[in-house]
Amino acid sequence: MSTGSMPSAKRWPVAILGATGAVGQTFIRLLADHPWFEIVELAASERSAGKRYDDAARWLEGTMPPAVAGMTVLPVDPSRVTAPIIFSALDSAVAGDVEQRFAMAGRFVLSNAKNFRMDADVPLVIPEVNAGHLGLIERQRSGRGWKGAIVTNANCAATVAAVALAPLHERFGIETLFITTMQAVSGAGYPGVASLDILGNVIPYIADEEPKLEREMLKLLGRYENGEVHNAGMRVSSQTNRVAVEHGHTVCLTASFSERPTVRQALDALRTWKGDEATWSLPSRPEYPLLVTDAADRPQPRRDVNAGNGMTVTVGRVREDTVLHLRMVALGHNTVRGAAGGSVLNAELLAATGRLAPA
Amino acid sequence: MSTGSMPSAKRWPVAILGATGAVGQTFIRLLADHPWFEIVELAASERSAGKRYDDAARWLEGTMPPAVAGMTVLPVDPSRVTAPIIFSALDSAVAGDVEQRFAMAGRFVLSNAKNFRMDADVPLVIPEVNAGHLGLIERQRSGRGWKGAIVTNANCAATVAAVALAPLHERFGIETLFITTMQAVSGAGYPGVASLDILGNVIPYIADEEPKLEREMLKLLGRYENGEVHNAGMRVSSQTNRVAVEHGHTVCLTASFSERPTVRQALDALRTWKGDEATWSLPSRPEYPLLVTDAADRPQPRRDVNAGNGMTVTVGRVREDTVLHLRMVALGHNTVRGAAGGSVLNAELLAATGRLAPA
Amino acid sequence: MSTGSMPSAKRWPVAILGATGAVGQTFIRLLADHPWFEIVELAASERSAGKRYDDAARWLEGTMPPAVAGMTVLPVDPSRVTAPIIFSALDSAVAGDVEQRFAMAGRFVLSNAKNFRMDADVPLVIPEVNAGHLGLIERQRSGRGWKGAIVTNANCAATVAAVALAPLHERFGIETLFITTMQAVSGAGYPGVASLDILGNVIPYIADEEPKLEREMLKLLGRYENGEVHNAGMRVSSQTNRVAVEHGHTVCLTASFSERPTVRQALDALRTWKGDEATWSLPSRPEYPLLVTDAADRPQPRRDVNAGNGMTVTVGRVREDTVLHLRMVALGHNTVRGAAGGSVLNAELLAATGRLAPA
Amino acid sequence: MSTGSMPSAKRWPVAILGATGAVGQTFIRLLADHPWFEIVELAASERSAGKRYDDAARWLEGTMPPAVAGMTVLPVDPSRVTAPIIFSALDSAVAGDVEQRFAMAGRFVLSNAKNFRMDADVPLVIPEVNAGHLGLIERQRSGRGWKGAIVTNANCAATVAAVALAPLHERFGIETLFITTMQAVSGAGYPGVASLDILGNVIPYIADEEPKLEREMLKLLGRYENGEVHNAGMRVSSQTNRVAVEHGHTVCLTASFSERPTVRQALDALRTWKGDEATWSLPSRPEYPLLVTDAADRPQPRRDVNAGNGMTVTVGRVREDTVLHLRMVALGHNTVRGAAGGSVLNAELLAATGRLAPA
């Protein structure tokens, strides 16, 4: 993580909503030593509010950063949480109402929930892929009369697929896309998937995942123009599966394009892609948002999930298809790139593009 | 397992080649109490030949049937192995030469190897799906001058897919098919997949599996006419993955048809399918070769793999596709239905159709 | 499962409390075709009561027996559940009160909960090991003024250890015992252990398990005399761990005895042990309650857990210890032998010893 | 990793024997950016010798360090491998002969094999625990007429137990010790444990592990005096198991002492232990060689294995025993602290104590 190019020595104060859950904990890990942001408040549901954080949270990985251990967990209420930047790991059951109240109260809400993702005036952003979609913020504010704003990141599997496909879509125009996923258990939160359900098993179903994946791809790869995102014109079909993997969604992709690329052309597009220039100096931006592996049997979740500190999507097995044009396999870290890390990168993009008031 | 309808009280003597490996052991388990067949000889590679079976084999599941424990392992040589029916679990590296020698020596060879599967005069058989393909035997014998014959069963993933799709292909005619598999480690034999490679992991590659799967589907679902199998006219694309599952291949299928079925029509076709009538009284034939589950999150390998003693393929999540016509998930036992059990059923079909000399 | 030696053709009507949980489902599986008992009622918590069973229960293994699918789940209330024999899979949080009310109402309660196990007038029974402990029932009834009775089975790990050690304790008298367990996730019920906690992991702690294991061993191996169980005089130390295994607790045992046996003597005691004669004709009694394996690396949960339909404990690696006298490894099915199957066998023992009113 | 206190800016050239295997790869990872050592040669068996390293090795974790990818693998022959410091990851089948030849040729051999560990003149070293044992080197050289020397590190499970127990043994004197291990699959190398053997399973046996563990504990915790190591006078019993964990051996310990400590005294001894002062400025020495966790259910391999970059042993559940005095659970990284990292720390200790000729 570079220290980036921000002029100010001060850090923006930030709060995390849903701080005790799995994604909330990943937020804490990623923000504990962040050069631009400083965690000043943690908030969670009624059950946890009022407790010390280390009493309220069952810490899932390694050691809890000491700075948060003694913080008192606040309720998810804009009158109690004061930070101007809000990272939300709230469940969709409550995110809709809560995130909206924070936005009305003038905060920038970086949301992981599905509630607002498909709203026409809400940016659904992967910075390297579609930084320009942030332009929707103005429309959102004026239309809704909000001083703050909601910026969303996408479904974790959609994020992996979109990063892997962005370079190909830019050059060759995807027309048809088949996606089959093998998703890690951490995508279901904690306690999430019961061990009796997944040990030595595959569950060929994730509630509501396929429609989310299919519609979000269109917006993620859509084109921003005149205050509007025009969805990509492709057709998408998906099947989503849960596998006995801790972190890392593996995504099998088969696609046809308006201009058929050779495998060599596709590899060249993937290898030379740098992502939107606006992201190049962001601290959480990995050197390579997209890595192509030559190994015949990679990417693999356990071996590749932490590439670029979990922010790099790894692509392999790029080959001709027997029916459409190309097939390939992509892998990314679902709770980092596909959730908390994505939100942090979105916030960095807001900062770098001058959208945040000085810290 | 019913005792079937065979008139004779005598059982055919059979031998197993490759008896010490994982599929060889499954053969032993399935044949230990078989009403029509009796294991009289076990054969394996030079390393094992001459030893007692219980010294030569590392038994993988439960308890070794006592009847085979004290047998002396023979070399895989038709001058030493005398049974008229030969179940071969040999690896493709040696199967080509050895199986051919047994067929020349007048034996019926039930092969699990890929070597002869695609030969125009060799039946590739799943009895419920294409029992009629056995008609190729005559052509094989006359063309090759063999007294015996080779009958093959298909790649394990192809078998699962073919059983699941046969009823739909018969009624609606598959035109395009996308297959993504999540395959169990037992498909790679023993020791096979290293635990360091698969614990908590997915390997998005199985050597040579995709081409096998794609070409065998065409023959399996092909039409036998005038001594020839006419491959099905569909286009097939596949991606194959290894997952941390012991037994049971899960197969995601997406298809279009020459006549588009509704979901209800598809379900009706799947639910009413009985498989070729010639199989109805075979002892290893399960009551339902194909079961449709209504549960939203089934089939699952650990929970459904043993349906019908491992001979039933379970299908679920039959639903409309967003790009083609239908998508669904199928699951079957790769070393039973997809290997040893398939061979045993093929041998039973040979017996029931009068192709075996009296025992 | 033999049909046993009961004279009557009628079956006793039985009910299952906690029927929707993991152990409740195992009860259903074991009792669905039982020669002596017939499931007539299913009961569960308020959340499930009033629903059809197949709506209330998330069925965990294979296919739900059709006979129970349409039953209406009753509340756990003796005024609503009428069967004279009650199999209870209730959690200890509610078992104390509920089971007592059923016993007061005249029912035989076969309990899996810890609540009454250590009461001086409540039998803690593994039929092959201590069938005579049922003598406590009279004292229980007279002392408590109950018409029914509570009969308990032990903690699942204690059950495995007690079956493995009973033959040695009978002959050589255990003085000191160290137990280290590696326990399957099904021991924690469903949903139980979160997959994020156990995938690729070991949890060296199971709440309240070590004290239970240590005290129940003393009673299980204790001597019944004159209406009293005299605890075994041994000292027991345990450490309990959770591992990523579906079913089957593996138990490492190290022991010293009042009379030191050679390994050969120990093996002889283990191999010739038949268990209490009163159990020999019980339908759920396996041919061998205890099997000794010669394989250097067995018993193993995945390979040995289903021995004797899950009712056989397998013992291996019996060898001299470097500090005490002997060490060995035992394995048993925690939800069958160690829970539901144990209760069923207890009920069969009640029937065979004439304690149940005629069906 | 601090840069330590070495005066010289030059780094010692080192070679790795057995560089393609699992432990060899860990050596490469740990030495790729080492402040004192520089990998100049890689050697392996005949099968790999002569190939480029990236062609010879199947890289198991993350990305191969670019510096080694293009190196030519040498044979394990002191006439071809010239570095003065030799890290050996050779298998015991060949280590005896090869390591001896390197020592005769004047090299310092840091060995992971069992061959020389118990020789009276060969140090078996965990620097924090018994740095003084290096005094055996002089006796080794004079007795064997070698210019070089062999320094060994211990069995991986013994290493974890010895670090956890050293502070208690120093203060209270262990008399009796029971060890039950749950060991990771990486301890068996690559390909090592077959997935069909360990998925959802426990293997209660590791060949030759228990005797190694029992005898090495005595030497590791022994006292060096007048050119001799006097073994610790304790009695040790062990049972070793393989579990479905990637990295990290979990070790259950039960002990009695010549002076019985309270739990509080034991915790105090564990928490204040700093390890031999000679190690304090070694670059691979973690801040805490021993960490005590307060969590009721830790240490756990997946969550604690990387503490101190894999060099810290984590101890938890320190509590009174019901038979002996104390029980506790220890966890350490078997291929880092228990293998490659241990050897690197040993070499650093050689350097810091002036035993290496100037680089």
Interface test with D, best of B25, B196, B198, B202 (most D CBs within 10 A): B196
Q: Is C22 an 8 Å CB contact of chain A?
A: yes
From B6's Cα to the closest Cα of chain C, the distance in A is 29
B70: which 2 tokens?
Answer: 């004290």
pTM of this prediction? 0.96
CB contact under 8 A, C300 and D245: no
Q: Indicate the helix (H) or strand (E) that contains C220.
A: helix C209-220
D195 touching B, CB under 8 A?
yes
Nearest neighbour of B191 by CB, restricted to D185, D194, D199: D194
**Best mutation site among C160, C174, C179, C180 for testing chain D: the one with the most D CBs within 10 Å?**
C180
Q: D300 and D329 in contact (C-beta within 8 Å)? A: no
Q: Which of A195, A201, A335 to mutate against chain C (most C CBs within 10 Å)?
A: A195
Tally the C-alpha atoms within 13 A of residue D327's C-alpha that lie toward its C-beta: 21
Q: What is each CA distance from C35 to B350, C338, C342, D150, D260, in whole angstroms?
A: 39, 21, 16, 69, 57
Task: Please report the pLDDT score of residue B8 as a whole number.
Answer: 54
Q: What are chain C's partners, defined as 3 or more CB pairs within 8 angstroms?
A: A, B, D
Q: Among C156, C169, C325, C333, which one carries the catalytic annotation? A: C156
H or E element, residue C225:
strand C223-225
* CB proximity under 8 Å: D 200-219 to A: 200
D24 CA: distance to closest CA in chain B (Å): 15
The set of catalytic residues of D is 156, 249
Q: Where are any strands of DSSP class E within D133-214?
A: 149-152, 174-183, 202-203
**Residue C156 annotated in active site:** yes
Out of B182, B204, B237, the one facing A322 most closely (by C-beta) is: B237
Q: Chain D window 170-189: which residues touch C at a Cβ cutoff of 8 Å?
A: 176, 178, 180, 182
Residues 293-352 of D with CB under 8 A from A: 302-304, 306-307
For residue A7, the model assigns a pLDDT of 46
The verdict on C9 touching B (C-beta cutoff 8 Å) is no
Mean pLDDT for chain B?
96
C231 reaches D (C-beta below 8 A): no
Beta strands in C26-135 (DSSP E): 37-44, 74-75, 85-88, 108-111
D195 neighbourhood in chain B, CB within 8 Å: 185, 192-195, 197-199, 244
For residue A199, list chain D residues with Cβ-Cβ distance below 8 A.
200
Answer whether B229 touches C (CB < 8 Å).
Answer: no
Rounded to 10 degrees, the C-alpha dihedral D135/D138/D143/D145 comes to 150
Query: Half-sphere exposure (CA, 13 Å, Cβ side) for B270?
Result: 29
Interchain pair D63, A302: CB under 8 A: no
Over residues A23-39, the pLDDT tens digits come to 999 999 999 999 999 99
Alpha-carbon distance values, C214 to A242, B223, C254 (Å): 39, 67, 14
Instruction: Examine residue B299 and say whether the peptide bond preceding it is cis (omega within 30 degrees of 0).
Output: yes
- DSSP 8-state class, residue D124: B
**Residue A245 to residue B201, Cβ atoms within 8 A:** yes
**Per-residue pLDDT tens for D183-223?**
999 999 999 999 999 999 999 999 999 999 999 999 999 99
- pLDDT by residue (tens digit) across D230-243? 999 999 999 999 99
Say yes or no: B10 contacts chain A, CB-CB below 8 A.
no
pLDDT at res. D61: 82
Write down the catalytic residue from B34, B133, B156, B325.
B156
The answer to whether A63 contacts D302, with C-beta atoms less than 8 Å apart, is no
Contact status of A63 with chain D (Cβ, < 8 Å): yes
pLDDT per residue over D131-174, tens digit each?
999 999 999 999 999 999 999 999 999 999 999 999 999 999 99
pLDDT band (50, 70, 90) for residue B6? low
Give chain C positions within 8 Å (CB) of B63.
307
Residue A244: list chain B partners with CB under 8 A: 200, 243-245
A198 and chain C in contact, CB less than 8 A: yes
Which of D203, D235, D317 is opposite residue C300, by nearest beta carbon?
D203
- What does the block give as tokens for A94? 């409550």
pLDDT at D2: 43
Give the count of beta carbons closer than 10 Å to the beta carbon of residue D66.
Answer: 9
The CA distances from residue B55 to A30, B51, B93, D274, in Å, are 55, 6, 24, 52
Q: How far apart are alpha carbons A81 and A16 in whole angstroms?
A: 9
Q: Answer with the residue of higher pLDDT: D9 or B307.
A: B307
Residues of chain A in contact with residue D302, where contact means CB-CB under 8 angstroms, are: 246
Reading the block at residue D209, the tokens are 């592990």
| Chain-chain contact of B303 with C62 (C-beta, under 8 angstroms) | yes
* Strands D37-44, D74-75: pairing kind: parallel
Q: Using one digit for the tens of pLDDT, what is the confidence trace for B50-77?
A: 999 999 999 998 889 999 999 999 999 9
Chain D contact set for C201 (CB, 8 A): 245, 300-303
What pLDDT score does C358 carry?
81
**Set A34, A133, A156, A333: catalytic member:** A156
- What is the distance in angstroms between the Cα of D148 and the nearest Cα belonging to chain C? 37
Check if the beta carbon of residue C173 is closer than 8 Å to that of residue C274. Answer: no
Residue C17: other Cβ atoms inside 10 A: 32
Contact across the interface for C201 and D322, Cβ inside 8 Å: no
At residue D288, does pLDDT exceed 90?
yes
CB-CB under 8 Å, C200 with B303:
no
Cβ-contact A205, B296 below 8 angstroms:
yes
Distance CA D226, CA D229 (A): 8
A276–chain B Cβ distance below 8 A for any pair: no
Other CB atoms within a 10 A radius of the CB of residue C262 amount to 11
CA distance C131 to C278: 7
Choose the mutation target among D303, D312, D314 for the interface with A, i.e. most A CBs under 10 Å: D303
| Probe site for chain C from D197, D252, D298, D328 (most C CB atoms < 10 A) | D252
Ranges in chain C, pLDDT < 50: 1-4, 7
CB D194 within 8 A of CB C303: no
The answer to whether D63 faces chain A, any CB pair under 8 Å, is: yes
For D119, residues 6+ apart whose C-beta sits below 8 A from its C-beta are none
Shortest distance between the Cα of B174 and any Cα of chain A, in A, equals 13
Report whether pLDDT(B119) > 70. Answer: yes
Judged by CB atoms closer than 8 Å, whether chains meet at B307 and C62 is answered as yes
Q: Tell me, what amino acid is at A322?
A: T
The radius of gyration computed from the CA coordinates of chain A, to the nearest angstrom, equals 19
The full 3-state SS of A212-244, as one line of letters, equals HHHHHHHHHCCEEECCEEECCCCEEEEEEEEEC
Residues of chain A with pLDDT under 70: 1-9
From B133, B169, B247, B249, active-site residue: B249
Query: b/e string for D320-345 if b means 16 or more Cβ within 10 A?
Result: ebbbbbbbbbbbbbbbbbbbbbbbbb
Structure tokens at B199: 């614990």
The pLDDT of D81-103, averaged and rounded, is 97
| Residue D31 pLDDT greater than 80, yes or no | yes
Per-residue pLDDT tens digits for D34-61: 999 999 999 999 999 999 999 999 999 8
Give the closest of D61, D304, D307 to A303, CB-based. Answer: D61
Catalytic pick among A169, A247, A249, A333: A249
Return phi, psi of residue C247, to 5°: -130, 145
Any chain B CB within 8 A of the CB of D244? yes
Whether B180 sits inside 8 A of A252 (CB atoms) is yes
Residue B61: what pLDDT? 82
Three-state secondary structure readout of chain A: CCCCCCCCCCCEEEEEECCCCHHHHHHHHHHCCCCCEEEEEEEECCCCCCCEHHHHCCCCCCCCCHHHHCCECEECCCCCCCCCEEEECCCHHHHHHHHHHHHHCCCEEEECCCCCCCCCCCCECCHHHHHHHHHHHHHHHHHHCCCCEEEECCCHHHHHHHHHHHHHHHHHCEEEEEEEEEECHHHHCCCCCEHHHHCCCEECCCCCHHHHHHHHHHHHCCEEECCEEECCCCEEEEEEEEECCCCCEEEEEEEEECCCCCHHHHHHHHHHCCCCHHHCCCCCCCCCCEEECCCCCCCCHHHHCCHHHHCCEEEEEEEECCCCCEEEEEEECCCHHHHHHHHHHHHHHHHHCCCCCCC
Q: Chain C partners of A190 at a C-beta cutoff of 8 Å? A: 194, 196
